[in-house]
Amino acid sequence: MSPLASRILVALVGLPVVLGLVYAGGWWLFTLAAVGAVFAVHEYALMTRTLRPVTLAAYAGVLLTLFGAELGGVVWMVGGFLTTLLLAFVLHWVGQTRQSATISIAATVLGTAWIGFGLAYLLLLRHSPEHGRLATFAVLLAVWAGDIGAFFAGRLIGRHKLAPALSPGKTWEGFAFGTICSVFVAFVALYDDRHSFLSIGQAVVLGLVVAVVGPLGDLFESGVKRDMQVKDSGRVLAGHGGVLDRLDAPLFAFVAVYYLLLALGKL
């Protein structure tokens, strides 16, 4: 099976499952986030193994961050994350890891913050009592639309490299078309609620935010992979690569949109 065909097959199977669990919310969505977090931390630990991150501390920190978000909101989310520092220090000391404590603990904290906060803000966004489901759907659909649009436009008309040092395949043409797709999908998804949730202008801004931070999340992961000299974070999703390869854009988008809605007084 070609990489493109496997990407399509995984998308056809995976997208309905993800959207269904987002629709259900609650502990169903928490379970999805927790499973994704475990896979993502595993891939991150493999990518950064030369830095010797304290993997057990990262697993515990990510899950406690998610539990904090699910049970107590932002305050307890931060509390859960902060356990990573203590656990990483203790486990590094007990295990006598052959790596500088500063590097090992810093690598652990980076992975926990990147994955844990990104997925925790997914839960927080979905928890919004009036429009959480709609907002979460809009973010996911806008991210996916932008990714698909950029992929095909980059292949068909891409000429100018966006960030050749980090991701040679990304082009400005792909980014421009991906932006149009993200804004259009956000506009359509939020149009019916323009009088009760976000106005047309605010929906466009949300689409623009997703269009910018999504690719930045992708480039962030590309930077880590290039630094660690690996091509894909994993193979669990066949043509899509690893879980982190699919989460890189949404992890940034959930955080950015949460604070955009907070600034607009919609949370």
* Domain termination residue (choose one: 127, 156, 177): 127
**Does residue 202 have a pLDDT over 70?**
yes
C-alpha distances out from residue 148 to 1, 69, 106, 255, Å: 20, 30, 34, 21
**Does residue 2 have a pLDDT over 60?**
no
Q: Is 70 domain-assigned?
A: yes
With a pLDDT cut of 70, the percent of the chain lying above it is: 92
Residues 137 and 209 in one domain: yes
The residue among 26, 23, 259 whose CA lies nearest residue 123 is: 26
Residues 248 and 150 in one domain: yes
Instruction: Please classify residue 264 by burial: count the beta carbons closer than 10 Å to its beta carbon, then call 0-12 exposed, 13-18 middle and 19+ buried.
Output: middle
Residues 169 and 106 in one domain: no
**Does residue 97 have a pLDDT over 90?**
no
pLDDT at 167: 87
Residues 40 and 111 in one domain: yes
State the residue range of the domain holding 96: 26-127
Q: Name the DSSP class of 59.
A: H
* Domain termination residue (choose one: 100, 127, 154): 127
Q: Is 14 domain-assigned?
A: no
Residues 46 and 123 in one domain: yes
pLDDT at 5: 58
Residues 117 and 149 in one domain: no
Q: Is 1 domain-assigned?
A: no
pLDDT at 205: 98
Residues 94 and 157 in one domain: no
**Does residue 30 have a pLDDT over 90?**
yes
Domain count across the chain: 2
pLDDT at 44: 96
Residues 90 and 139 in one domain: no
Residues 169 and 257 in one domain: yes
SS3 content of the chain, % helix, strand, coil (to 5): 80, 5, 15
The residue among 226, 194, 193, 213 whose CA lies nearest residue 260 is: 213
Q: Is 68 domain-assigned?
A: yes
**Does residue 136 have a pLDDT over 60?**
yes
Burial letters 53-75, b for 16+ CB under 10 A, else e: bbbebbbbbbbbbbbbbbeeeee
- With cut-offs at 50, 70 and 90, classify the pLDDT of residue 102: very high
Contact predicate 82/3, CB 8 Å: no
Q: Is 12 domain-assigned?
A: no
pLDDT at 64: 98
pLDDT at 13: 74
Summary mean pLDDT of the chain: 91
* Domain termination residue (choose one: 81, 108, 127): 127
Phi, psi of 74 (to 5 degrees): -65, -45
Return the higher-pLDDT residue of 51 and 95. Answer: 51
- With cut-offs at 50, 70 and 90, classify the pLDDT of residue 240: low
Phi, psi of 161 (to 5 degrees): -70, 135
Q: Is 9 domain-assigned?
A: no
**Does residue 216 have a pLDDT over 60?**
yes
pLDDT at 229: 86
